[in-house]
A and B are shown apart, each in its own frame.
Chain A
Amino acid sequence: MTPEAIRLDHVSLWRRTQEEFSYDLKKTLFSLLQGKYTKPAKKQVLNDINLVVNPGEKIGIIGSNGAGKSTLLKLICGILDPTEGKVRVRGNIAPLIELGAGFNMNLSVRDNIILYGVLLGYSKQEMLTRTLDILNFAELNDYADMPVKSLSSGMKARLGFTVATDTEPDILILDEVLSVGDAKFARKSRQRIDHLWEKSSTILFVSHSLEYIDDLCDRAIWLNQGKIAFQGETKEAIDLYLSHLDVKEYTHNN
């Protein structure tokens, strides 16, 4: 039996709501002095999530905005720690959440490739040897020494995509980033994803494009208000999700 790539046991997450927190030493001190200090409120974002992903599985995650999809991915990436329960992940993860977050706008494209790569966990040496490949794939050779802020947003997305997918991670996390750039690059990036797909890396894929999910994933998870409402057959998950939306719309209209 192969060990599971990702395993979540009874995972719950409570987060502090940012609006209620004062961020203010002066105010906090005064409220303490006046005895009005209240502990910041917390809200449950994920509720008793149980999930097992085997190596090579492609899993789609669907759900409406705020259902906790991105939060779930962050937990799996290790960015957030669960309040209760246990998250176990085997293998290295390449997160592809909102491309280009790691870029420093004032540095050159070349420097950024190395910076981003090292942030993602590769060594500097490794990144130096891979820079050229990355520039080639992203078609940014002519821009190598220009600051990233001079690139168009499409080019930035291309750069982020290329750096993150340049090696073959064991687990790839995709948050709405299947096609980036112009039509030509979108095709290329799609090919690369297909390649990673075939290489049987485990993929977690969040998208609002249900067609993509239906097309690409073996299994789907429908998250609703921080809970797994359904996990299993992709088609069934999508149908359930859609009918749930219909019901909601129906009750709303009446």
Chain B
Amino acid sequence: MFRKVLIANRGEIAVRIISACQKLGIATVAVYSEADREALFVKQADESVCIGPAAAVNSYLNREAILMAGINTNADAVHPGYGFLSEDALFAQMCEECGMTWIGPQASLIHDFSDKTNSRALAQKRGLPIIPGSGMITSEPQLYAKANAIGYPVLLKASHGGGGKGIRLVHSAKELFEKYQLVKEEAGSSFLDGTIYLERAFEKARHIEVQVLGMPDQLLILGDRDCSLQKNRQKIIEESNAAILTKKERTTLYKLVHQLLDRSNYQSLGTVEFLFVHHHFYFLEMNTRLQVEHGVTEETSGIDIVQAQIRVAANEKPVVHQIEFTGHAIECRLNAETNVAKQQFETGRLTQFDLPTDVRVDTGLQNGDEITPFYDRLLAKIIVYAKTREAAIKKMQIVLSDVKVTGIGTNLSQLKQLINSTQFAENHYNIHSVGKLMEAGSHESYA
């Protein structure tokens, strides 16, 4: 097992990884930007190294600074968390070259599966249905021709995007060029890569994903999640398992995952994402890393996913026998937000930060912390577990009423609205429901 793990991340996921390391008896090194000097994860880690100024490009995306921090502190492994450098094949390779084990799949697998264009091509080659789309767009005339061929509405996507960044819905040729420039710009600044492709946009689809853990002799499937409730393509409510799937559909889904990964000798944690439209699955993308919403799967499977991921990276067999899924788990992402209708980024000091204490809450923040404009807007993940979906919804309704945040704006009222909606209770929602519900909500206020 590792002696000391460097966590190349911040916030709640750094806290989560530190806790997993502590349980495994591993020392931890936090790296942080000047904006995070007082953050909880920095205090919780055994050692900490300031790696740069607030801007992520000079700190959490600064490969050399993070590697030097690892070398200076004698870390023997690097956990990248999610976002930042978690799917950066070059960084994975550099870690190994510096003598630190990368807690993730090897660089070549990141290249194959994390890059959306590569993974789509591979999925198609292995017989998985994919969403009709274009290859890489390299010129403007090509952009128009491909969009016309696919048919509007289309999605413009950055190859290295994720978490809703670098994606735009385009309704007509008129909008295309403007949004192309926007996505190209976003891709360049957030993901250190500027390549773009097109995809057909489906109106009524569910986002279903499968959690996998690859081990030397087998690919474990750790269940599935429904993450269809998204706002601006960012997941805000996730469930485990996906209650909408029939037994037969689930079998088909898992077969597709095996079809994609079995021949690749994938030995790490990963998530394979699909769109589920009219009882058909379309391969969307794969994330070769720990996912924000891993917690709901931990609740229903009883497996500590982060510990299992670390054990696999250390060539130890995780103690996973037959996995039995029981009950239902729901996660709500409490985000900083000024106005639900305007989707403004809110910053400021948390003057009150009361979260439920009787259910699982993953957060990297404490009362009095400053929410800076440099990173993501996630304040806390509130996770409930109950025997049935209905009971889990009830529980979430109750715990959300215990949440009190002042000093900054949040999406709390929106979460409450969604959790209390008939659509959610009846499990009749799709990837566009949040936008539509919010629209309906705002109209009601005028009535």
Q: Do they bind each other?
A: no
Q: Using CB atoms and an 8 Å cutoff, list the residues of chain B in contact with chain A.
A: none
- Chain A: residues with CB nearer than 8 A to chain B? none
